[in-house]
Amino acid sequence: MAKYLLLKHYRGAPAPVNDIPMDQWEPDEVEAHVRYMNDFAARLESSGEFIDAQALSPDGTWVSYDGEGRPPVTDGPFAETKDLIAGWMVIDVDSRERAIELAGELSAAPGAGGRPIHEWLEVRPFLTAPPTVTS
Amino acid sequence: MTSGDVELRELVPRVLSVLVRRGADFATAEDAVQEALIRAHAAWENAAPADPTGWLITVAWRAFVDMARSDAARRDREVRFDTEPPAGAVPNADDTLRLYFLCAHPDLTSSSAVALTLRAVGGLTTRQIAQAYLVPEPTMAQRISRAKRTVGRAGVHGLGDVRTVMRVLYLVFNEGYSGDVDLAAEAIRLTRQLAALVDEPEVHGLLALMLLHHARRHSRTGPDGRLVPLADQDRSQWDPALIAEGIAVAQAALARDQLGEYQAQAAIAALHADATRVQETDWVQIVEWYDELLRFADTPIVRLNRAVAVGEADGAPAGLAALAEVDEEVPRREAVAAHLHEKNGDLALAARLYADAARNAPNLAERDHQTRQAARLNQQLQTHR
C-alpha cells in the first residue's frame, strides 16, 4: 500500500482541454461538477482507498522568520507566483498504476457543456515508513 | 495492548472457524467474533472463565444468531439457526488453517488481505488496524467489509495457500507504521501459529527470518529516530534470546533440505546475527546465500543486496562490477553505488550519489540518513582540499 497526493493547481499546470473558468458555466454544470467530486470521494471511501480531501483558498501569504524578537516578515498575496495549489486528495492504493488511474478519473470531472475538463493533476507519492527487512 | 489481550486474541481463529463450520457466513461470523471479544474484555476483567474458548464460542454464536435474525427480519426471511450452539463442535486445526487461506485469498489485493488477516485471524479491531496503516477508520472499515464480501463471493474456489499466507504475513512484518499495535510482533505471533498448523520448512524459514530481524529492532534506530545501518548498530542491544531461537528454527528448517526464499533470507540474517562485531561478518558465506536466494527470487532487490555483500567479500571493485548488472531503476541503487564508490576511494562521486540517493529515498528516515552521508563526505572533501 502506498499513499499518493493528487494535487490540483489553480495555476501552474498545463491548460486543460475544456478550459472555461467555472464562473462561466451553467448552474447545473456547476452542480454536476460538485456532485461528481463528492461521488468520487464517496466511491473511494467505499473502496477503502480514501484518506483525505481538502480545498485551499487562493489567498496565501509568504511568511519568514525575521530574527530574534522581531515579528515574522510577511509578503503576499503572491499574485506573481507561477504555481498555486488549489487543493488535494490523498489516497491509499495498492500500486502507482491505480493512483494514475484514479487521477485520470478525477480529471474527467465534468465542466462547461457537461464535457470532461481534462484538468492536469499532479500525482506525488508520500515518503513511507522504512521497511523492517533491509539486508 | 496487555498480555491478556494477546491471550484472548490467540483464540480468535479457532472460534471463528467453529462458527463458519457450523454454517455461519464468514462476514457475519467475523463481526460476531469481534462482538464476543468486546464482551469478553468487559466480562473477564476480574477473572477469565474456566473454558475461555467455549465461552467465546457460545457468546459469538449468540451474537451471530442475533445478527442473522435482524438481517433476516430486514429482508423478511426466516432464520434457521438455534440459539444454542450444537454440542461437540471442537476447534480443529484444519479449519483454522482454512481461515488463514481464506484471508489470503488470491482475489484480494495485498492491502485487503493484510487488513482482513489482522482482523479475522489476528483479532485486532478496525481502529487498531487503521492506526497502524495511517488510514481513517471508516476507510479501513470499508476495506475490510469489501474484503469479506470478496472472499464470501469467491468462497472456497481458488482459496489462498501457504505461499499467499506467507506473503501476507511478510508484508505485515515489513511494512506499516505503528499505533498501539506492534505489527512486527503481531506478524511473528501469527507466523508462529501458522508454523504450528503447517509443518513446512519455508514457514519455519519465514518465522526465523522475522525473529532474527526483530532481534535487532532496538538498535535499528537511534534515540532521535535516526536510522542506524547494520554496520554501525550497537550489537550488545541485539536480543540474544530471539537470535538463539531464530538460528535454531532456521537450522532445523535448513536441515530438511527443501530450500526456499525465506530460508535463504533467514540464513543471511543468521550470519549477520552470528557476528558479534561487524568485522567478524562472514561475507563470503553471505554471498553464497545470495546466490542461493537468486535461484528462488531473482529480483533486482536481491541482486542489489548481493552487490553490497560482494563488495564486502571481494572488495569494492568486485562489488561495483556486480552492481553494474543490477537494473538501473531499482530503488536504493544510488545508495549502494555511493557506498561502494566511497569504499573504493572515490569520495567526490560517492558524495554526489549519496545526494541523489537522498533525493530519491522512499522514506524520510532514509532520506535524512543519505543526506548525512553526503554532508559527511562533502566536509571531508573540503578539509582535504
Residue A92 is part of a domain; what is its CATH number?
A: 3.30.70.1060
Three-state SS at A51 = strand
The confidence band for A61, taking pLDDT boundaries of 50, 70 and 90, is: confident
**Arithmetic mean of pLDDT over chain A:** 89
How is residue B190 written as a grid cell? Answer: 501469527
A-chain CB neighbours of B110 within 8 Å are 1, 94
The confidence band for B363, taking pLDDT boundaries of 50, 70 and 90, is: confident
Q: Which of B114, B139, B176 sits opposite A129 (nearest CB)?
A: B176
- Cβ–Cβ under 8 Å, residues B233 and B281: no
Percentage of chain A beyond pLDDT 70 is 94
User: How many domains would you assign to chain A?
Assistant: 1
The confidence band for B260, taking pLDDT boundaries of 50, 70 and 90, is: very high
Reference B112, options B121, B103, B120; nearest CA is B103
CA distance B302 to chain A (A): 9
Determine if the peptide bond prior to B49 is cis (ω within 30°).
no
Domain containing A87 equals: 2-125
Per-residue burial over B52-88, b = 16 or more CB atoms within 10 Å of its CB, e = otherwise: bebbbbbbbbbbbbebbeeeeeeeeeeeebeeebeee
In this prediction, residue A79 carries a pLDDT of: 61
A97, part of any domain: yes
DSSP B298-310: --HHHHHHHHHHH
Q: Which residues of B touch A (CB under 8 A)?
A: 109-112, 114-115, 133-136, 138-140, 142-144, 146, 173-178, 184, 209, 213-214, 217, 227, 230, 265, 268-269, 272, 305, 308, 361-367
Instruction: Report the range out of B87-91, B208-212, B376-380 with the highest average pLDDT.
Output: B208-212
A26, part of any domain: yes
Give burial (CB, 10 Å; 0-12/13-18/19+) of A73.
Answer: exposed
Locate the chain A residue with the closest alpha carbon to B308. Answer: A135
Find cell 531464530 and name the residue.
B246
CA distance B188 to chain A (A): 13
The confidence band for B87, taking pLDDT boundaries of 50, 70 and 90, is: low
In this prediction, residue A62 carries a pLDDT of: 85
Can you tell me the distance from the alpha carbon of B208 to that of B64, in angstroms, rounded to the nearest whole number?
Answer: 38
A-chain CB neighbours of B366 within 8 Å are 130
Reference B226, options B367, B32, B42; nearest CA is B367
A-chain CB neighbours of B209 within 8 Å are 133
A34, part of any domain: yes
pLDDT beyond 80 at B368: yes
A75, part of any domain: yes
A-chain CB neighbours of B305 within 8 Å are 135
DSSP state of B278: G
- Find which of B108, B110, B111 to mutate to test the A interface (most A CBs within 10 Å of its CB): B111
Locate the chain B residue with the closest alpha carbon to A44. Answer: B139
Percentage of chain B beyond pLDDT 70 is 94
- Cβ–Cβ under 8 Å, residues B381 and B348: yes
B-chain CB neighbours of A130 within 8 Å are 227, 363, 365-366
Which H or E element spans position A36? helix A27-46
Whole-number Cα distances in Å, B5 to A67, B44, B123, B249, B375? 52, 11, 10, 27, 46
- Cβ–Cβ under 8 Å, residues B122 and B185: no
A-chain CB neighbours of B143 within 8 Å are 47-49
Binary contact (A127, B305; C-beta < 8 A): no
Task: Assign 3-state DSSP to chain B and report helix, strand, coil percentages, each to 5.
Answer: 70, 0, 30
CA distance A132 to chain B (A): 5
A15, part of any domain: yes
- How many Cα atoms occupy the beta-carbon half-sphere of B142 within 13 Å? 15
Cα torsion angle, B92, B95, B98, B100, sign? negative
pLDDT beyond 70 at A82: no
Find cell 495492548 and name the residue.
B1
B-chain CB neighbours of A47 within 8 Å are 142-143, 146
Binary contact (A127, B363; C-beta < 8 A): yes
Cα torsion angle, B116, B117, B120, B122, sign? negative
pTM as predicted: 0.88
In this prediction, residue B384 carries a pLDDT of: 74
In this prediction, residue A81 carries a pLDDT of: 60
Cα torsion angle, B286, B291, B292, B297, sign? positive
Locate the chain A residue with the closest alpha carbon to B209. Answer: A133
Contacting residues for A88 by C-beta, under 8 A, at least 6 apart: A5, A6, A7, A8, A52, A53, A54
pLDDT tens for each residue of A83-129: 788 899 999 999 999 999 999 999 999 999 999 999 999 999 999 88
Locate the chain A residue with the closest alpha carbon to B132. Answer: A129
A36, part of any domain: yes
In this prediction, residue B223 carries a pLDDT of: 84
How is residue B71 written as a grid cell? Answer: 438481517
Mean pLDDT within B250-267: 98
CA distance A115 to chain B (A): 30
